[in-house]
Structure 1
Amino acid sequence: MLVTAQSMPKLIWMAGLPLPPQPSECPMSTKRVIASKSNVRPPAMQSTAAEFGTLRCSSPPSGGGCHGHLNAKGLSLLKELEGWRPNFYYDQPNGKDNDATRCKNIHPPLSRAEGEALLKKDLSGFEKYICQTVTHQLKCPLNCNQFGALVSFAYNTGTSANGFRISKVYEQLQAGCNYKGAAKVWTSSFTNQGLLTSRRKKEVALFTTATSSVSGC
């Protein structure tokens, strides 16, 4: 498939996560690679590469527990929710710019190993975003399962002004770290008219799974 600046296609990897190389390989003049699932994000769930790019190419903090990264359960959930495609595809509902990162050295078809390596590089931005937004700004400690569920949720909602921070989940955490309240509203938050209800149920199931392992943010 010919990739041009006008036809920017999408590449799917598990968890619907964009797949950038290292920061030095992400010039703004090159093609965009976008990952997304068929359970599309509404326009309000979009975030731009310019807004979020510095987080995407950075490393999350390391402070014990799962060290600011998704644990096995969180990563497994993202893979399940988003599926896998080794080639570019066109996302008609969301257009070209949904949650996109411009990268130059992606040559499909990708192997699963290549896809997972790129996924983990990109995940660091969402992991750091949740650490900063929930743990540091709201001062809400998270265990590894809560953290993983929130990373999945934030990826899906986006991190723009119309994304994670206007969700019902964020509102409950902002209200004195109301974890029970967040769990209660989870399945009614950013469901895209019910299309994402199944995803939300799986995310909140992880969020409410007890563990003594802390996020490490």
Structure 2
Amino acid sequence: MNILGQLHFSEAAKYLAPSLLHGFGVVVEATIIGFFLATIVGIFIAIGRLFGWKPLKAFLYGLLEIVRGTPLLVQLVYIYYVMPLLINLIAGMFGYKTDVQITPLTAGIAGLAINYGCYMSEVIRAGIVSIDNGQTEAALVLGFGRYETLFRIVMPQALRGIIPSLGNYLVMMIKDTSLLAYVAVNELLLRTQTFASQTFYTIEAYTYLAIAYLILSVPLSHLVKFIEYKLSSASR
């Protein structure tokens, strides 16, 4: 039996490709915005844990434990389905009638930003701690403020060491955008599932899905390795 003869890759590509191209845009949008927000969240948590008041440190530590102790998929579902209900419930307790709704893409980006921000915060915190404390002391003696020293002296040097790790998180985030399908974001996976269920081209559809993610992630992975190589060469 000729198995390949029963497959319809060319026909599947004809109808699936335009949909996947739209899915590419959603994945890129979610990744870029999510990574940007995750970086901000990571910097805030790292600085808060290093220099914040004790109540803030305790709160951030608890947040890290919750986020790292639950799967990303559960967090996405919680943000999309539960958070609007909680907001409406709390508003009702104070006499306000609200009907808060979170769009699928907004919930997806928020979930990625919070989850990855918590993990990236440890990398950023380690990068800050790795800088010789003598430079901070010298800057303070020269009249720099505490946060001016942090952002003008320490952070630029710390970034050199943490950029490769952040790049790896970016590659991981691209692949994790597939989880957004479970909160109704019409990205690559959801589009492929819809196409496969309508046409029964299951093998063809999911093969093209895998190729689509390879096209996104493999070049970026090599770019991250190239940047890491250049940074390591420059530091020698």
TM-score between both structures, scaled by the size of structure 2: 0.25
Indicate the structure (1 or 2) with the bigger Cα radius of gyration: 2
> Which has a greater percent of helix?
2
